[in-house]
Amino acid sequence: MKIGDLEIYLLSDGVAKTDAGGPFGLVPKSYYESYIKSDNQNRIAMALTCMLIFSEGKTILVDTGLGAKLSAKENEFWGLERPNGGLVRQLASKDIQPQDIDIVVNTHLHADHCGGNTIQSGDTIKATFPNATYMVQRMEWAQASHPNSRTRGTYFEKNFATLVASGQMKLLHGDTEVTKEVKCVMTPGHTRGHQSLVLQSRDWKAIFLADLASYSVHMQRTSWTASYDVYPLQTIETKQKWQRWVLSNDALMFFQHDPQIQIARLRKKDGRLIIRPE
């Protein structure tokens, strides 16, 4: 997708399977199954979508999926399938090598969003993208570095600690301009330091929502929050804010985990919000 001088591609680190109780929390199965079907183990497909952006001479990668450090047991746990290879192979299909990436933006530090930040070589953990500056909110890093009983199953230091220690990871303080066309914006709720990406080229605007709205229906139905959301009431408030922004700017929305609808617009019809796939 090319809009003016901004160029965007969606890349996949694969498709995992997750218990539907994660993304849909207290939503009854009879409701969410009108949007996505679960298997006989109550699992649904969860896309691991990353975004590649070319802007102002910079090659920018948004999130890195689960990466290549998973053990056989972890691969089985995730039900991970990569028929077209993982993220690095997807980048290669665009003639991009790991050393070509200038900036990696992590929306947050849950394992399925930053596992590909690093690779393991023997006993050494090193950056997958050796020349990149990694960006994450300082608040997110602080919470990831001190996980509690609820979050220790998704925050793993091997995905970010080496980068912080080396100075390769830049810790942000709130909304931050990456380029004139790409901006990190705070979207708290899923975690306190969760951020999304606003993209703009001339009059065209879009938002990469990450886990503010993992599946498209989450942006349509404000009260539908994930059981993973640490602050679900804040998620609702944040979604309402960005629903207004999307509608007023006729902005595109990019959904990171939805295997069926990756890009859509939000519309009002008969007083209700609806998702219109693009």
If pLDDT is split at 50, 70 and 90, which confidence band does 277 have?
very high
Q: Give which of 137, 215, 201, 195 is closest to 8, Cα–Cα.
A: 201
- CATH (domain of 244): 3.60.15.10
CA distances from 29 to 26, 106, 271 (A): 9, 31, 25
Would you state the pLDDT for residue 122? 87
SS (H, E, C) 13-30: EEEEEEECHHHHCCCCHH
3-state secondary structure of 251: coil
List, for residues 80-118, the tens digit of each pLDDT value.
999 999 999 999 999 999 999 999 999 999 999 999 999
Would you state the pLDDT for residue 150? 86
| Predicted confidence (pLDDT) at residue 137 exceeds the cutoff of 90 | yes
Would you state the pLDDT for residue 217? 97
CA distances from 222 to 210, 225, 263 (A): 15, 8, 18
Portion of the chain with pLDDT greater than 90, in percent: 94
List, for residues 191-228, the tens digit of each pLDDT value.
999 999 999 999 999 999 999 999 999 999 999 999 99
Q: Specify the pTM.
A: 0.95
**Helix H or strand E segment including 10:** strand 6-19
| Residue 85: domain span | 2-277
Q: What is the mean pLDDT of residues 171-187?
A: 98
Q: How many domains does the chain have?
A: 1
**Dist. CA 177–CA 24, nearest whole Å:** 32
